[in-house]
Structures are given as structure tokens and as C-alpha cells.
Amino acid sequence: MWYTTLFCTVDSLPKFKYSFANYDPLTQVRASGREVDASPKSAREVCKTIKGMTIAQAKNFLENVIAKKQVVPFRRHTKEVPHKRSQFKFHVGRYPVKAAREVLKVIGNLEANAEFKGLDTEKMILLHAATMRGMKIKRYMPRAYGRSSPKFNTLIHIEMVGKEVL
């Protein structure tokens, strides 16, 4: 039949796994954002900072980062990053607004998944918050004399696992 190739079946959809190993579906909830357009380095630092916070603390922190009131400490990618004062007592930091917005969306999905499962979101902490590099979008910018320069964009995957603490 000609219409069988036009429609996508469930088996042909991409399958992905979480990097968090000890997942308990009764007390934990998880959410992910796949192929998100944000900086991998900035998203890594944002996830490292919010790991261990409650959902309310993480949302408050990310909203302050978006408003440029609070700094995300950059611990790994620190070359030519200016010094900032922050509550985390680390000398290097930035305001990664785009990465903070995308992580905030995933936290909203995590909260919605917890409410759907019947878990209390007020007592939920973030056990796992991580980013991985995803697909690379390859584009080229034409230059003079028939040359071209690459203009690649790396997408990221964001994963979060939350646990209700009693």
C-alpha cells in the first residue's frame, strides 16, 4: 500500500534512555528536554548549581538568573569569564539567560509529572540534573572568493529526576 510509508509508526520514533540509574517510579519522577537550543557549557553549569535544591528554590534561582539578579557560578568553563559576587562564594560567574529559561521549562514539566503521579511538589528535591550534547546542526556561511565558513550549532539534552522527601 502506498500510505504505509507516509505515516510514522510508534516503532520508528526515537528511543532514548536516562543516564540516572537507580530510578524508583513510586517515589521519584523524571522529565527531559530533547534537542534544546542552548549552550552546552552554560546549561551544564546551571544544572550543576540547581542539583540538590527543592523545586521552589530552583525556580526562584532560575527566575533571578533570567532577571540578572543572581549569578550562576562557572566552575569548569572559566577562561576569560569576569569575576562576579554571588551567594555561592565562587569568584567566576555569568548570567546564562537562555539556558536558564530552557532548564526552567524542564522543571515545569517535572512538576507537572509529579502532580500527575500524586506526589507532593513542595517536598520534592532535584536528585539528578544533567545535560548532554545532542545533534549538531551544520550550516555554512558563504565568504568571498567562493569560500565558506562553518557555522555549527550544538543542541543539548536536559534530564532531571526529582524525589519526594518525607
Is residue 97 a part of any domain in this protein?
A: yes
Give domain status of residue 23, yes or no.
no
* Cα within 13 Å of Cα(146), Cβ side: 0
The answer as to whether 11 is a domain residue is: no
Is there a domain that residue 22 lies in? no
The string of pLDDT tens digits covering residues 52-70 is 999 999 999 999 999 999 9
To the nearest whole number, what is the mean pLDDT of the chain? 89
Q: What is the pLDDT of residue 11?
A: 62
Quick one: which of 116, 111, 97, 130 has its CA closest to 57?
Answer: 111
| Domain tally, the chain | 1
Residue 138 domain flag: yes
Q: What is the pLDDT of residues 72-89, one digit of tens each?
A: 998 888 888 888 776 677
Angle at 37 between CA 135 and CA 71, to 5 degrees: 125
Alpha carbon distance 38, 61 (integer Å): 18
Whether 34 is covered by a domain: the verdict is yes
- The verdict on residue 3 lying in a domain is no
Per-residue model confidence as pLDDT tens digits over 78-136: 888 888 776 677 888 899 999 999 999 999 999 999 999 999 999 999 999 999 999 99
CATH number, position 123: 3.90.470.10
Domain containing residue 111: 30-164
pLDDT at 117 (0 to 100): 93
Inside any domain, residue 2: no
